[in-house]
Amino acid sequence: MNPSAAGANVRALAAQALQRIVAGRSLRVEFAAFSTKLDDSRDRALLSALLHAGARWWLRFDAAASGLLERPLPPREAVLQALLVLGLVQIEVLGLAGYAAVDASVEAARVLGKPKFAALVNAVLRRWLRERAGQEPTGREGQRWPRAAGARLAALDADPVTRSAHPRWLLDAFAADWPDDAEAIVAANNAEAPLWLRTNRRRVERGAFLQRLQAAGIAAQAPPQPPEAVQLATSADVTGLPGYADGLFSVQDAAAQFAAGLLDLRDGQRVLDACAAPGGKSAQILEHADLRLLALDSDERRLPRLRDNLARLGLQAEVRAGDAAQPAPWWDGERFDRILIDAPCSATGIIRRQPDVRLHRRASDVPALCKTQARILDACWALLAPGGRLVYATCSVLAAENAEQIAAFAARHADARAQPVRLAGWHVQEGAGVQNLPGESGMDGFFYALLEKPC
């Protein structure tokens, strides 16, 4: 396959996948499915870049593409709308040459089996380029198109939704909970997230791992905290990094790596990871101490990946399917010394890493999530041994899921003792808990609270 044809094929696959993502499918799932159709790692990297940028900026460039059309595309041609958005994203976000983005998109329309629309794709994207350059072209039969570049961009920037590519409810939530930081949160969400690794302390010391990366020509750095974290200078296929097959590291954002330290793990303890899949925090718990871990998740379909992750790292745990909010079917009656609740949440702290969250999440989801979180907290508290410690974590920045959730829990349980959490640079929350906002210290948005049960 020649390079131009290969480029068109990648864009055609990206348009199909993005169409499905916008309709409600997971970006991660769609990338996994469509990337198997590409043999070249460079093509897979381009597919990933297209899907992440397309989802991240959909709310802006979907509006832009629609404004460039004389009439809306019919719903059955949603893949063409996705192709147009990707064309604009390549020009405005990925910085590809305009002519190359247009030509590849036009050819992609043919690859998609829609040759009749190739001229439309060409016309729309070239119109954007002309307007962007401030030209005033002549349309059919001498009709003058208005000088629209400035006006069109101004209209996109005038609306907070299209300017930020965030739904209005989310902008309002940021403004309500973080009035001084809302703009910074949005800016961080629209930037590409760095790649963080966590070294497996049972198999390699962090300094030795950094030396292996350096020897392989891979630039990386290690912050003072958390102690096993490594940040790569550029994204990479992690399966090709030194030590992957040997289980020397896992992929995990640095903000999520503080969980094990807060649990204060010791040999011989019985520990519950209540919402364990895909297993990153379960693995970290097992790396820190010789203990008995029950890795529980409500979705049995996610357990094979959890088991695979543990096996690659050389770790063992009891892995079970079960609802943490309903212990009766799976709990054996022995209380736990430590419990981690990495609660199901809105994922509003990891939008930069999972940009499809902004397309899928709704304001109406939050109250239901809060009810689920409260049920899990109440149920797991009954399973915690006297003198035990429970860590509650979310990848949310919404107060209702975080500080307010913990305050409500403490009001229901007189025996719950909220302990101070001290993480350098994190925002201490009124009542209990600490919050990192997206992008701060290069990390994701994350919340932790620490609860202890008296003896």
Residue 142 has pLDDT above 70, yes or no: no
Range of the domain at 127: 3-159
Residue 144 has pLDDT above 60, yes or no: no
CATH number of residue 296's parent domain: 3.40.50.150
Residue 193 has pLDDT above 80, yes or no: yes
Residue 138 has pLDDT above 70, yes or no: no
Q: What integer is the mean pLDDT of 413-420?
A: 96
119-123, 155-159, 338-342: the lowest-pLDDT one: 155-159
Q: What integer is the mean pLDDT of 392-420?
A: 97
Query: Are residue 272 and residue 375 in the same domain, yes or no?
Result: yes
Domain count for the chain, please give it: 3
Query: Are residue 203 and residue 153 in the same domain, yes or no?
Result: no
Q: What integer is the mean pLDDT of 344-349?
A: 98
The Cα–Cα gap between 339 and 276 comes to 11
Share of the chain above pLDDT 70, in %: 95
Query: Are residue 126 and residue 263 in the same domain, yes or no?
Result: no
Identify the domain boundary among 134, 159, 184.
159
CATH number of residue 223's parent domain: 3.30.70.1170
Residue 6 has pLDDT above 70, yes or no: no
Q: What is the pTM of this model?
A: 0.93
Query: Are residue 226 and residue 125 in the same domain, yes or no?
Result: no
Query: Are residue 230 and residue 279 in the same domain, yes or no?
Result: no
Tens-place pLDDT, residues 236-246: 889 999 999 99
123-137, 142-156, 399-413: the lowest-pLDDT one: 142-156
Query: Are residue 32 and residue 134 in the same domain, yes or no?
Result: yes
Active site members: 395
CB 440, CB 181: distance < 8 Å: no
4-13, 94-103, 198-207: the lowest-pLDDT one: 4-13
Note the pLDDT of residue 136: 46
Identify the domain boundary among 142, 159, 176.
159
Note the pLDDT of residue 1: 43
Query: Are residue 286 and residue 239 in the same domain, yes or no?
Result: no
Residue 183 belongs to some domain of the structure: no
Residue 71: count other Cβ atoms within 10 Å of its Cβ: 6
Residue 386 has pLDDT above 80, yes or no: yes
Residue 165 belongs to some domain of the structure: no
Q: What integer is the mean pLDDT of 276-281?
A: 96
Query: Are residue 29 and residue 141 in the same domain, yes or no?
Result: yes
Residue 141 has pLDDT above 90, yes or no: no
Query: Are residue 440 and residue 291 in the same domain, yes or no?
Result: yes
Identify the domain boundary among 113, 144, 159.
159
Q: What integer is the mean pLDDT of 4-17?
A: 90
Residue 410 belongs to some domain of the structure: yes
Residue 140 has pLDDT above 80, yes or no: no
Residue 90 belongs to some domain of the structure: yes
Q: What integer is the mean pLDDT of 89-117?
A: 95
Residue 189 belongs to some domain of the structure: no
The Cα–Cα gap between 345 and 401 comes to 7
Query: Are residue 96 and residue 27 in the same domain, yes or no?
Result: yes
Tens-place pLDDT, residues 14-30: 999 999 999 999 999 99
Q: How confident is the model at residue 137 (pLDDT cuts 50, 70, 90)?
A: very low
Q: How confident is the model at residue 134 (pLDDT cuts 50, 70, 90)?
A: low
Residue 314 has pLDDT above 80, yes or no: yes
Average pLDDT, the chain: 94
Residue 187 belongs to some domain of the structure: no
Note the pLDDT of residue 152: 77
Query: Are residue 42 and residue 110 in the same domain, yes or no?
Result: yes
Residue 377 has pLDDT above 60, yes or no: yes
Q: How confident is the model at residue 133 (pLDDT cuts 50, 70, 90)?
A: confident
CATH number of residue 59's parent domain: 1.10.940.10
Query: Are residue 218 and residue 360 in the same domain, yes or no?
Result: no
